[in-house]
Chain A
Amino acid sequence: MKMTYILKYTFSFCLLFSMFLGHAQETSTTTIAKETTKQKPKTPTAKPEIQEVKPDSIKTDRYGLRVGVDLYKLTRGFYDKDYKGVEFTGDFRLTKKYYLAAELGFEDKTTDDDRLNSTATGTYIKGGFDYNLYQNWLDMENLITIGMRGGFSTFSQQLNTYKIYNPNPYWGEQPPVVDGQKFNGLTAGWIEVVMGVKAKVFNNVFVGFGVQLKMLVANAKPSGFDNLYIPGFNRTYDGSFGIGFNYTVSYFIPIYKKKVIIPEIVKPTPKK
């Protein structure tokens, strides 16, 4: 019993790291797995067939709500004095492959650039869906997802200090100017493409990692300044692109179950 537990655990971590190493191989196996599933709906069209199939090949898919927290944001506050933040994540399994997903967070970040020092504080909400590309064996519930989100943030920015750029410093470089001006009521909206992995490490506990590519669609800039950091979007660049990632620990709350018949072809090495 304990062995299977460890086995599951190691497998879950292998899955997690497969995102980094040998990704091409990982995806190719998933596509093969997908092809086998395509055949699946054809066989169990008629309901009475369920009784004919051996009990081994009946799999129950659990549906429910998964809630979690981003450990990266949470722990960053301990070692980075310029950062305070938290992000709660949640997803709800809609169908076999689709999950409704959302994130809710708060960030307080001081950006210290060469010439500018500013603090952005605010909350954000992101909502969208995840599509699970991973074909699970037996009762495993791991996920390799690709999804989309729409994000919206409402925040304020404070310009702490700035330096004057003077290409001709005949009179010497002026020390940083302390400003302290605060810009309230700022908003920004963006779209994200999210790629993620979630591995089940204990009964209902998942560990996940996700990367986000973001594109700003709306950005209310303060007059006489710029949004250097947008909570939820992270730092801004000259264009509208942004990136982000999270490292989550989440708990799955099962709500209901659905039975799925596994076709005979899929019979991997017996685990139990």
Chain B
Amino acid sequence: MKKIIALLLVFTFGLSSCEKDDICDANTPTTPRLVIAFYEITAPTTPKNVTNLKVVGEGETNGIVFNPTGTATGKYITNSNKISIPLKTNANSTTYSFIFDATNLNPAAINTDVIKFNYTHQDVYVSRACGFKTIFTLNPTSTIAPISSPFEQTDPAGDGLWMQRVIIQKYNIDNENDIHIKVYF
């Protein structure tokens, strides 16, 4: 009996000292970003790297950081074939400018396309430490009332769209493992 009590006491104090310190684990899937993959327009199955792409949110001065270790301008630039961009968690649309070849010294070479993503969002419970996450559903394409579209692509400079085809791959944005949008150029 003495041993049992000693064991239980040790256990009690052990349990109280190694109490979970309520920090959200970075591996926990929380609010997902929109994943966009780029493909060759002439060979739609071939991934294609973008050239010095900079993505800036509407009303923001700085672009999305793609390389946290990069230089002052370099960190906003990507040359990969897949990007992840965060959506607003408290609005039903988010607008981004996709600036192709943003670092080119020749202004004529820079091409900017603007895409407004339309969606609905929902808050989902994750855990005590992480709180809630927001998941998104892109609006369906509908030409009859109520008219809705998952995205609206515009070309403010009038120099032609560099994103020649934008195809929704997945309307439900609930994780970052899937490709949600495919862009062909």
Q: Confirm or deny: A163 has a beta carbon within 8 angstroms of a beta carbon on chain B.
A: yes
Write the chain A residue with the least CB distance to B4.
A146
Asked whether any CB of chain A lies closer than 8 Å to the CB of B127, the reply is yes
Q: Which of B26, B84, B128 has the largest number of chain A CB atoms within 10 A? A: B128
Given A195-B8, A243-B15, check contact A165 B57 (CB 8 Å): no
Q: How far is the CA of A193 from the CA of B88 in the complex (A)?
A: 48
User: What distance in Å separates the Cβ of B20 from its nearest Cβ neighbour in chain A?
Assistant: 6
Q: Which of B1-30 contact A (CB under 8 A)?
A: 1-2, 4-6, 8-9, 11-12, 15-16, 19-20, 22, 24, 26, 30
Whether B111 sits at the interface, judged by CB under 8 Å, is: no
Where chain B touches its partner, the secondary structure class is mixed
Q: Which residues of A contact B57 (CB under 8 A)?
A: 170-171
For the A-B complex, the count of residue pairs with Cβ-Cβ distances under 8 Å equals: 110
Q: Which residue on chain A has the smallest CB distance to residue B64?
A: A170
Q: How far is the CB of A183 from chain B (nearest CB, A)?
A: 11
List which A166-182 residues lie within 8 A (CB) of chain B.
166-171, 174, 177
With a cutoff of 8 Å between Cβ atoms, the chain A residues found around residue B6 in the complex are 23-24, 27
Q: Enumerate B79-121 residues with CB–CB distance to A below 8 Å.
A: 84-86, 88-90, 94
How far apart are the CA atoms of A27 and B15 in the complex, in Å? 22
| Cα-based distance from A47 to B60 in the complex (angstroms) | 95
New contact pairs (6) apart from A113-B128, A163-B131, A166-B86, CB-CB < 8 Å: A27-B2, A28-B2, A114-B22, A167-B26, A168-B31, A174-B90
> A residues within 8 A CB of B20?
237-238
For B47-90 the 0/1 string (1 means CB < 8 A from A) is: 00000000001001000100000000000000000001110111
Q: Does B167 contact A (CB under 8 A)?
A: no
Say yes or no: A166 contacts B130, CB within 8 Å.
Answer: no
- B residues near A211, Cβ cutoff 8 Å: 12
A225 partner residues in chain B, CB cutoff 8 A: 125
Contact B2 A31 (CB under 8 A): yes
> Knowing A171-B89, A238-B20 touch, does A165 contact B131 (C-beta < 8 A)?
yes
User: Can you name 22 A-B pairs with beta carbons within 8 Å?
Assistant: A23-B6, A31-B2, A113-B22, A113-B131, A114-B131, A115-B130, A163-B131, A163-B132, A164-B90, A164-B131, A165-B130, A165-B131, A165-B133, A167-B31, A168-B84, A169-B86, A170-B64, A170-B85, A170-B86, A224-B124, A237-B19, A238-B20
Binary contact track A215-239/B, C-beta < 8 Å → 1, others 0: 0000000001110100000000110
Chain B CB within 8 A of A65 CB: no
B134 lies within 8 A of A166 (CB): yes
A167 touching B123, Cβ below 8 Å: no
* Chain B contacts for A9, CB-based, 8 A: none
CB of A116 closer than 8 Å to a CB of B: yes
Complex A-B, nearest 3 residue pairs according to Cβ-Cβ distance, in ascending order: A115-B131, A168-B86, A165-B30
Determine how close the nearest CB of chain A comes to the CB of B69; give it in whole angstroms. Answer: 16
Confirm or deny: A213 has a beta carbon within 8 angstroms of a beta carbon on chain B.
Answer: yes
B132 touches which one: A114, A162, A238 (CB < 8 A)? A162
Bound Cα distance A164, B24 (Å): 12
Chain B residues whose CB sits within 8 angstroms of the CB of A171 once the complex forms: 57, 86, 88-89, 94
Residues of A within 8 A of B89 (CB): 164, 166, 171, 174
Bound complex: CA A234 to CA B172 (Å): 37
A86 within 8 A of B: no
* B2, B9, B33 — most chain A CB neighbours (10 Å): B2
Residues in A neighbouring B22, C-beta threshold 8 A:
113-114
Contact pattern, A 29-41, Cβ under 8 Å of B = 1, otherwise 0: 0110000000000
Contact between B125 and A226, CB atoms less than 8 A apart = yes
Q: Are B4 and A166 in contact (CB under 8 A)?
A: no
Interface residue? A205 (CB, 8 A): no
Q: Is the CB of A74 closer than 8 A to any CB of chain B?
A: no
How far apart are the CA atoms of A241 and B126 in the complex, in Å?
20
Query: A146 vs B8: C-alpha distance in the bound complex, in angstroms?
Result: 10
Closest chain A CB from B182 CB (angstroms): 21
Q: Which residue of A lies closest to B5 (CB)?
A: A27
| Cα separation A163 to B33 with both chains bound (whole Å) | 17
Measured between C-beta atoms, what is the minimum distance from A64 to chain B in Å?
A: 26
**Of the residues B4, B31, B64, B129, contact of A115 by C-beta under 8 Å:** B129
Check if A104 is an interface residue, CB within 8 A of chain B: no
